[in-house]
Structure 1
Amino acid sequence: MRYHGIGHIVGTVPDAPENAAAVDVLKERACEVGFKAGYNRCISHVNLLFQGEFTDERSGFRDVDTEARLAAAVEAYNNLSFSAIEDIAKCLEAEDYVDRLRLLYANIEEEEEEEETVGSGKGDAGTRGTKKD
């Protein structure tokens, strides 16, 4: 845990379902802003070309404040809390925080032990004995 624990903790943030959901919302809101701006720019070019009065009536984003929706999504992402980090904070508040952290990451320590027994790290890839021709 001492050698690899921080790496596992840091790895939980990008892999967290909370992060994935928030990033999906951000991407969706950014696309909406871009679509609305592109649609309105296209209308302005067409109106210049045809001397007409085309509007955004048929746009799905008519009267939708896409910029405010994007700003709200960015604000939500900036205030995002991760359950994995909250679990670590709860462990650190206890007197026996080391034992609680070990319990929280018990499966990680087991995986590390399995990786260490697979190979010696000297290029033998976990084989035992010698290769016979």
Structure 2
Amino acid sequence: MRDHGIGYIVGTILDAPENASVVNELKERAREAGFKAGYNECLNHVNPFYQSKFTDERSGFHGVDTEARHVAAINAYNSLSISAVEDIEKCLEAEDYVDSLWLLYGVLEEEEEEETAGDAKGDVGTNGTKED
């Protein structure tokens, strides 16, 4: 598990559909909040130089509480439940947690053995004969 399992487990958690959708939502809400804050900051810098005042009415986020939407996305991420993590927690509760994790992620070992079977690093190669 130490050699290969941890990276596979981390990849499983990061690639989980639950995680991907919530992270995508979080990125979008942060982008919107940053865009609106930047737009308003620009207005604050431009308005002192003009007699007529510019507003955010032309902004796509006029009247939208982007900060609240961003906070809601953060809260959704913080309360996220990923099924892969729950499976790992169940394995860790068992006395033979390493064996349980191997059962859960044992496919990785089999895939690696198939990939390295014909690797030919310092051995006879894939055709079974040694070349002179």
Q: What is the CA RMSD across the aligned residues, in angstroms?
A: 2.9
Identity, % of aligned pairs? 62
Q: Name the CA distance, whole Å, in 2 between partners of 1:124 and 1:74.
A: 55
Moved over 3 A (4+): 91-103, 120-128
Q: CA deviation at 1:52?
A: 0.7
Q: Name the CA distance, whole Å, in 2 between partners of 1:57 and 1:125.
A: 70
Q: Name the CA distance, whole Å, in 1 between partners of 2:9 and 2:16.
A: 11
Contact 1:119–1:127 (Cα < 8 Å) also in 2: no
> Which position in structure 2 is the counterpart of 1:19?
19
> Which position in structure 2 is the counterpart of 1:80?
80
- Name the amino acid aligned to 2:22: A
Unpaired stretches in structure 2, ≥5 consecutive residues: none
TM-score calculated relative to the size of structure 1: 0.75
| 1:48-101 deviation line (CA, Å, top 9, x unaligned) | 222112222232222222122212222322332221111122334456756543
> Which position in structure 2 is the counterpart of 1:30?
30
Unpaired stretches in structure 1, ≥5 consecutive residues: none
TM-score calculated relative to the size of structure 2: 0.75
**How many corresponding residue pairs?**
132
Q: Name the CA distance, whole Å, in 2 between partners of 1:44 and 1:5.
A: 53
